[in-house]
Structure 1
Amino acid sequence: MSRPPEGRLYFRGGCAIRQIAVLPYRTLGSGVDAPIQILLITSRGTGRWVVPKGGLMKGLAPHAAAAAEAEEEAGVRGAACPTPLGSYRYRKRRQSGAAVWADVDVFPFAVTEELDTWDEQHQRERRWFSLGEAASAVDEDDLRALIRSFGAREFRAAASPARLIGAMADKMASKTGVNAMFAWFQKLMPQQSQFFDLFEKQAVTLVAGADALARLAQGGPSSAQHIREIEEREHDADDITREVLQTVRRSFLTPFDRSAITSLINTMDDAIDEMQHVAGAVSLYEVADFEPEMRDMAAIIVDAARLTAEAMPLLRRIADNGHRLHELTERLVRMEGHADEIHAQGLKRIYLEANARGGREADALHFLVRQEMFKRLERVVDRFEDLANEIDGLVIDHA
């Protein structure tokens, strides 16, 4: 077979080849506005900034193959969400000089460990960038758009209603001298701002709990520490929920219907409660190792918490942010469906393995414990779907 001429674009089977990649990220700080950083590496050929990527691997799911590439190329480990963030296309140049189109599926990858040594450390440079810097550093337009959408800082509320009313009051007072009416409004508005502050604070507990849950699912000697972290975040969430409920009773003016406020905060509280139930099962059954499907579900929970943390500040100006909120809730619902599939696959696999070993009593007990763990993880993801529905309801009513 003759080789394509130098520089000619060609395809396998008439279409682009498929690759997989991760978007490695970390959050600096614990607030909903804490900056997100993206890890990029240099390509071996041109030295340009890229994300860790490679080809599909036999026997590995796409996100698992992408995680393996991240460890090999960038020296990082973490939780790879099985639901892709999106995809981009680029021209891959071969040694012959020919080029192919490559379609790359990109998976969110919450970095939990940076290795001191790794396979390609002498062939590549790795560096953490801010979202804006990372988007500017890469060449591909679609990848740039994916990075910019990750966290979507441009959608964050620029000002709370309380500050907007206050600014209006100052302006009106300077022209008309009618301070009394706006002073009355200003006394009421901080209560509205307080609700948003508490929603965002609750989102922080979800992110911290999900991060600890993902680390717990990776196994290792620090399980007790991760369990304590989840328990502490669950206690924090209870306190925040209690404060919201008390504030609802005290407040004359609320940003949303009172039942919508209590339903939203209780659903968030239910999510961290279910994380605590997972941690409790790990402690009760002394689970030391986790099925790969369990780690995948934990990674979905991490990304669901990240999306929740982005969504909460957008509620301050829900009419302006309705489109972005719908995008976030749509992804949450899609991830829940993916988690259901992973749950079913994991249960089937461990059931067949138990049968293949003869169905001994020890195997049956092992299966029951694993079944319980899968069920509890599924409940966590279900609560995030419930949360997506709560947010969609607010958007319908107010946007």
Structure 2
Amino acid sequence: MMLVTSRRTGRWVIPKGNLMAGTPSHAAAALEAEEEAGIRGLACPVAIGSYRYRKRRRNGASLMVDVEVFPLSVSEELATWKEKDERERRWFTLAEAANAVDEPDLRELIRSFGPKEFRAAAVRTGMLNVVAKKSRIPKMFAWFQRLLPKTGNFFELFEAHALTITAAADALARLLQGASSPADHIREVNERETDADNIIREVLHTVRETFLTPFDRSAITSLIGSMDDSVDEMQAAVQAIDVYDVTEFDQEMKDMAAIIVDCARLTAEAIPLLRDVGRNGNRLHELTERMVRAENHADEVHRAGLKRNFREFGKVDTPRFIVAREIYKHLERIVDAFEDVANEIDGIVIDHA
């Protein structure tokens, strides 16, 4: 996470500013990030939370200010920017960023964005390992473990697929943001989709040959299937962009891409927590709730984008409207697939937590 210093006190803060008339909140936040931190990227229109702090005015008054926080996926760091000589910028780990800021609510918000305490969930600690360690019979345990049926490497495959989805979402976002060399971003999404196909084939093969599975077999195939649907639709979106040679994208398309990036990040955080559903049930529910809320917001953005395109081009440039509708369709299906991922994870939590 990038933080900047305050111009007056030099303390570490996030880039922020006042609302701008006629500009959506998340777009205003992105402009402030460029002016104060010299970074560009897609800001997700769904806020991750808010915090309150006391701000001292130039007239001496000290007033409470409510700040709504939007995640921004950084794709470019500028060498020069408006407030370069007035602030310092620095990348922090999430734990370091939480400790660096003064506002308690902001500190908790940063921690909830990717809490350190859940990283331990990614370490596999089976009950038999615990028993063997406490009973001091590692040699006997090793011999006994070799006699047990295979349990498969499902968690590793799930996590690899989640990372593939995240990389594909980032490439899609760069493409819609108008980054240079669009063919490279299209190619990356296609390559990531191929990687995802290889992973899902291995998952399905492992399901058939594994005696003990961590969840019901249908839950495993449904979860990996919904994850794969998201990256399939990403590929469909970039292929449509390539076929129709689209080079300019609506703000609503960029907003949907930002939502997709955020949903991919939430998926990548949630999947490792499935290693210990009982301990991580509450956090998993929080993450899936965010994904469902993001999907609802994406529906609104989708309708607004289609409506504006129909008004502007429906009668005067029908082919352009049809192309835009095609791209919006795939973007919506990507987010819908992430909602399916959230529902599948919720089902696992209900069954096992």
TM-score by length of 1: 0.85
Contact 2:122 2:273 in 1 (8 A): no
Q: How many residues are treated as equivalent by the alignment?
A: 352
Q: Aligned partner of 1:367: which letter?
A: F
Paired position in structure 1 for 2:123 = 159
- C-alpha distance in 1, partners of 2:148/2:96? 40
- C-alpha distance in 1, partners of 2:151/2:249? 44
Aligned partner of residue 17 in structure 2, secondary structure: strand
Aligned partner of residue 88 in structure 1, secondary structure: strand
Cα distance 1:187–1:377, how it changes in 2: closer, same or farther (>3 A)? farther
Paired position in structure 2 for 1:28 = none
Q: 1:309 aligns with which of 268, 272, 292?
A: 268
Paired position in structure 2 for 1:172 = 135
Paired position in structure 2 for 1:128 = 91
Structure 1 residues not aligned, in runs of 5+: 1-37
Contact 1:161 1:316 in 2 (8 A): no
Q: Aligned partner of 2:106: which letter?
A: L
Matched, 1:325 2:325: no
Q: 2:16 aligns with which of 30, 53, 64?
A: 53
Aligned partner of residue 151 in structure 2, secondary structure: helix
Paired position in structure 2 for 1:95 = 58
Paired position in structure 2 for 1:81 = 44
Task: Give the structure with the larger helix fraction.
Answer: 2
Aligned partner of residue 351 in structure 1, secondary structure: helix
Contact 1:166 1:186 in 2 (8 A): no
- C-alpha distance in 2, partners of 1:91/1:166? 51
Contact 2:40 2:75 in 1 (8 A): yes
Per-residue deviation, 1:186: 5.6
Query: Deviation digits for residues 60-87 of structure 1, max 9, x if unmatched?
Result: 1100000000001110001111100100
- C-alpha distance in 2, partners of 1:280/1:259? 31
Cα distance 1:187–1:292, how it changes in 2: closer, same or farther (>3 A)? farther
Aligned partner of residue 58 in structure 1, secondary structure: coil
Aligned partner of residue 290 in structure 1, secondary structure: coil
Contact 2:150 2:211 in 1 (8 A): no
Paired position in structure 1 for 2:229 = 270
- C-alpha distance in 1, partners of 2:241/2:19? 33
Contact 1:161 1:189 in 2 (8 A): no
Describe how 1:120-269 pairs up with structure 2 within 5 A: 120-156=83-119, 157=121, 159-162=123-126, 164-172=127-135, 174=137, 179=140, 183-185=143-145, 188=148, 191-192=151-152, 194-269=153-228
Per-residue deviation, 1:320: 0.7
Per-residue deviation, 1:149: 1.0
- C-alpha distance in 2, partners of 1:353/1:39? 38
Contact 1:161 1:317 in 2 (8 A): no
Structure ID, larger Rg: 1
Query: Deviation digits for residues 295-354 of structure 1, max 9, x if unmatched?
Result: 000000001000101111100011111000000000000000000000011111111222
- C-alpha distance in 2, partners of 1:103/1:395? 34
Paired position in structure 2 for 1:386 = 340
Aligned partner of residue 221 in structure 1, secondary structure: coil
Residue identity (%)? 61
- C-alpha distance in 1, partners of 2:51/2:336? 30
- C-alpha distance in 2, partners of 1:127/1:171? 45
- C-alpha distance in 2, partners of 1:55/1:68? 11
Contact 1:77 1:114 in 2 (8 A): yes
Aligned partner of residue 100 in structure 1, secondary structure: strand
Cα distance 1:93–1:190, how it changes in 2: closer, same or farther (>3 A)? farther
Cα distance 1:107–1:96, how it changes in 2: closer, same or farther (>3 A)? same
Paired position in structure 2 for 1:13 = none
Structure 2 residues not aligned, in runs of 5+: none
Cα distance 1:259–1:183, how it changes in 2: closer, same or farther (>3 A)? farther
Q: Aligned partner of 1:209: which letter?
A: A
Paired position in structure 2 for 1:282 = 241
CA RMSD of aligned residues (A): 1.6
Per-residue deviation, 1:172: 2.9
Matched, 1:64 2:24: no
Per-residue deviation, 1:221: 3.1
Per-residue deviation, 1:281: 0.5
Aligned partner of residue 54 in structure 1, secondary structure: coil
Paired position in structure 2 for 1:4 = none
- C-alpha distance in 2, partners of 1:271/1:99? 47
Q: Aligned partner of 2:321: which letter?
A: F
Per-residue deviation, 1:99: 1.7
Contact 1:293 1:342 in 2 (8 A): yes
Cα distance 1:45–1:224, how it changes in 2: closer, same or farther (>3 A)? same
- C-alpha distance in 1, partners of 2:180/2:269? 32
Paired position in structure 2 for 1:299 = 258
Contact 1:207 1:305 in 2 (8 A): yes
